[in-house]
Structure 1
Amino acid sequence: MSSTDPPVHVVAVDLGATSGRAMLGRVGPELLELREVCRVPNRPAAPDGVLRWNVLGLWAGILDGLGAAGQAADIRSVGVDSWGVDYGLQRNGRLLSGPVHYRDPRHERAVDAVHSRMPHADQYARTGTQFMAINTVYQLAADQEMLALADLVLPIPSLFSGWLGGEPAAERTIASTTGMLALEGEWDPTTLAAIPVSPGLLPPVVPAGTTVGRMTSRVADAAGLRTRPDVVAVAAHDTASAVLATPLEGSAAFISCGSWGLVGVESPTPVISEEARLAGITNEAAVGGGYLVYRNTMGLWLLSEAQRSWRRAGTELSVEELVALASAVPEGLPTVDLDDSLFSVGGDVETLIGEWCGLRGLRSPQGPAEVTRCLLESLASAFAEAAWTTARLASRRIEAIHIVGGGARNDLLCRLLAARSGLPVLAGPAEATAIGNVLVQAMSAGAIDDSVQEMRALVRRTHPPTLHLP
């Protein structure tokens, strides 16, 4: 590999909780360019009373994106990343039913049953996964009737990679979100027995950068491609992909801020103390080794929910407009615990905040400007507290916070975070998840160095962050 080698073109399929998109990447030792070629909404629905992801709509968008990318360049490979915990059940290569959304409440009834067989403290010691009722462990425990019909359980990125032509595989970062992966990196038989799920239903675990197959002729023809690109298992959990593309230097915490806020530090060893468990700290496998030690908190999803409510009431405001309005609101609004279960299902956010404040004798914010300011103040406070807590529990020193994802575009959030944490905040790249996806594919193709630090240096040179001081 040299600076004179031609760049490679790859397609990053980046699936989020509210939309899916295809990004065309052009990568070389001194080159890192991305262009969105297709975006589709990701709207779950509950036609049978169970909230399900619209995977067929996402699949149609992926084909459209591949077709648009193929018109612009010869595609070397394609990789898929997505949110964690959810999965598809297959039998004989066919999807049995629409994958259930993690916000569907079915899993709640399985928590006590699993804990009666294996308390969470025992799970945590083996997997390092924080307790959330949405974890795959509890979803599968609640899905026993369908599980009995299946011969394969696939994380969401693996499901789409298989449809593209890849062999069944669970990339390590996405596998570590399930609560079923031992800290040593393989499926944990004791946890599987507590669900219960047969180990034979789970695909092999592979590291990021593994070529799992080649696109089928049928898919290539449907997308209008001239060639059949490789299918690469990228850092399939969007958080791990985003952190890979976070140009961390020195002693810095990371925040991947989209629908969720993932706040933490990198660590060579897992953090599995009882204090860490009770603090809601999770340990995710990191690209290149080690762990992402972080807390999973509310992100900007509630602001999207608030926008939806205002839109239904006849007020259409963009995020940029809301941030401008909120910037003019004086301090003094309450700091709300957005991780309270009251907010977990969304809805009319202004009313929910009013209810939360009313129970505590606090003045409720009124209207889009005040509600947005309250949300951003509350997020900044939660992010700052989570950064300091994870750093302390992991015995890591932090001198800065680096925020990537959609939150990096929100200047007010970044300024508030700097003020609440007392630390410099480096913002960007906003497209970190897609960049991480592209970097792993370029590494797999031999177009760039396989060192995480070298990949981050390339991001720093091509996508320099914005500095916000306390």
Structure 2
Amino acid sequence: MKYLHLALDFGSSGGKVIAGNIQNDKLILSEVNRFSNSPVEISRISFWNILNLYNHIIESIQIAQKNDQKILSLGIDSWGLDFGLLNEKGYLINNPVHYRNMFKTNIMQEAIEKAGKKWIYEHSPTQFQPFNTLYQILAYQKYAPDFVRISKDLLMIPSLLNYFLTGEKAIDFTMATTTQIYNHRKRKWDEEIMKKFDIPDILPEIVPAGTKIGKIKKDVLNNNSDIDVILPASHDTGSAYAAIASDPSDTLFISLGTWCLTGAIVKEVPFNKELMENNLAAEGCLDGSFRILANVTGMWLIQGIIKSLNLPGNSDTYQKITDMAQNAKPFSSYINVDDPSLQNPQDMIQAIIQQSIKDNDTVLNETSQVIRTALEGIAFKVNEVKEKLSKILKIDFKRVHAVGGGTRNKLLCQFIADATGLTVLTGPIEGTAVGNLVSQLYALQFVKNFEEARDLIKRSFDFQIFEPKEHDVWKEAFTSFQKKK
């Protein structure tokens, strides 16, 4: 009989289920299932189809149990920030709302005006984003107060799905740190933020990442299930960072997917006003440390370009898009990839063209130029983050290590090496799933500590290396763009 651990990784555009088992002292992966995660739009509001995601969990477990395979454990990770609300009877009140709706509101600014940006950051030092959980709760209070009034529990996406499976309610440390309600220094929910903004006592118990929370209920799979449900590093970036095996003391880490989440790891969050001034997040890691990072817009731009071109989102299309960028003229323009206009546009190509005019007074006439400018913009932004983190945290970065599906884009990886002047290591590609599985192995004591976990990853996967080739050219181009602004 083959014994498996299942990593259920839900991203904002799709989900996948990866099985892991240890063979010959290596972690071996196999894909169980893959599916789209498409929001449903009603009256111009986008909702997550949470019940469909739950059905995919059940379907994936049933697929994995075939062929004399026994599932020992499973763990769910997802994007952060979004949540479902339960009433006092445990029934789901709302279909979770998609975080990108929050770009249409001014709730974050209203909260800052009420409490002060410095006050909020001192209590919960994370990145100010209009879609943070705090501001989503305030939006409910403003636009749908009855939902909050009858709520008994607020559960983030992985915790909500775990509740459906086990009946248990808990959130892990890594996900709690993303909400802007968590006090990183006291390591608990911040009571003053809750009081200031009249947030009721609906937040769940916080447990360490890698905690066994229960078994799947007997009625879920119509049998006597003995599967342990683990809360891994349930924020997908937390799991992705858990898969990075490079030395955490001098490595710039990137989780490269829809977002290009770029940061460094520290033991404790420093008291430093520059973190707030540069809008850097402080989010939790599997081992209880923190990642100080920036949410740089990543492959979201390429996904949007593909949608604008009405092309299928498959590997052939991504290769075609990359080839177009490869053959385009370098440094046609510069864009700020994090501009709000690029976060939810109707037409990404037109949005990038307009952003180029705004940022660089340059019209991009060819689609290939649009694609290359987007990729170059991501690499430029990564280098900006590197410079800021190096200065603020006093880290002399020796390398970049990137994980995630976006690392399949070798052109972007080379751009990042050239922009930063650092060697870029990539792998594992399924970084989030690997980190999720490592969390489970730690919870079940198959690995005793995090050093053992890193060693397991190192001997289990191949890594690609990209050496910087044109760092001086990139520096000159960026300086030129900055002078034009």
Q: TM-score, normalised by structure 1?
A: 0.93
**SS of 2:453 mapped into structure 1:** helix
Q: Flag the 1:318–1:312 CA change in 2: closer, same or farther, 3 A.
A: closer
Distance in 2, matches of 1:253 and 1:96, equals 41
Matched residue of 1:216: which SS?
Answer: coil
Quote the offset at 1:367 in angstroms: 3.9
Cα separation, partners in 2 of 1:175 and 1:326, compared to 1, 3 Å: same
Hey, what does 2:235 align to over in structure 1? 237
Whether 2:26 is the aligned partner of 1:31: answer: yes
Distance 1:356 1:244 in 2: 35
**What is the identity, as a one-letter code, of the residue corresponding to 2:195?**
A
Corresponding residue of 1:49: 44
Code of the aligned partner of 1:411: K
Superposed displacement of residue 66, structure 1: 0.9
Matched residue, 1:339:
338
Structure 1: gaps (5+ residues): 1-5
How far apart, CA to CA, are the structure 2 residues paired with 1:463 and 1:439? 13
- Cα distance, 1:228 vs structure 2: 2.9
Match of 2:254 in 1: 255
Amino acid at match of 1:185: R
- Tell me the equivalent position of 2:218: 217
Residue 134 (str. 1) matches residue 134 (str. 2): no
Q: 1:375 to 1:125 in 2, by over 3 A?
A: same
SS in 2 for 1:9: strand
Alignment of 1:60-209 (within 5 A): 60-72=55-67, 73-91=69-87, 92-105=89-102, 108-144=105-141, 145=145, 146-183=147-184, 184-198=186-200, 200-209=201-210
The residue type paired with residue 154 of structure 1 is: L
Change (3 A) 1:316 1:22: closer
C-alpha deviation, 1:109, in angstroms: 3.3
Deviates more, 1:341-350 or 1:302-311: 341-350
Cα distance in 2, alignment partners of residues 392 and 233 from structure 1: 34
In 2, the alpha carbon distance for the partners of 1:185 and 1:274 equals 20
Q: What is the CA–CA distance in structure 2 between the aligned matches of 1:229 and 1:111, rounded to whole Å?
A: 41
Give the conservation status (yes or no) of the 8 Å contact 1:259–1:301: yes
Tell me the equivalent position of 1:376.
375
Offset of residue 219 of structure 1: 1.5
Distance 1:394 1:44, change over 3 A: same
Count of residues in correspondence between the two structures: 460
Deviation at 1:114, TM superposition (A): 2.2
Query: Residue in 1 aligned with 2:426?
Result: 427
Alignment gaps of 5+ in structure 2 = 469-485
Could you tell which deviates more after superposition, 93-102 or 368-377? Answer: 368-377
Which residue identity lines up with residue 242 of structure 2 in the other structure? L
Greater displacement, 53-62 / 354-363: 354-363
Provide the rounded CA distance (Å) in 1 between the counterparts of 2:410 and 2:53. Answer: 31
CA contact (8 A) 2:213 2:231 kept: yes
TM-score between the two structures when normalised by the length of structure 2: 0.90
The residue aligned with 2:480 is none
Deviation at 1:103, TM superposition (A): 0.5
Contact 2:311–2:317 (CA under 8 A) maintained in structure 1: no
Q: Is the 8 A contact 1:350 1:366 kept in 2?
A: no
Q: Tell me the SS of whatever aligns to 2:122.
A: helix
Per-residue deviation, residues 63-120 of structure 1 (Å, max 9, x unmatched): 1111111114100111110001111111121110110110113773322442244222
By how many angstroms is 1:381 displaced? 0.8
Distance across 2 between alignment mates of 1:246 and 1:179: 25
- Alpha carbons of structure 1 residues 111 and 466: separation in structure 2 relative to 1, 3 Å: same
**Residue type of the alignment partner of 1:152:** D
Deviation, structure 1 residue 208:
1.1
Q: Tell me if structure 1 keeps the 8 A contact 2:334–2:360.
A: no
Query: Partners of 2:286 and 2:210 in 1: how far apart?
Result: 9
Report the RMSD for the aligned CA atoms in angstroms: 2.1
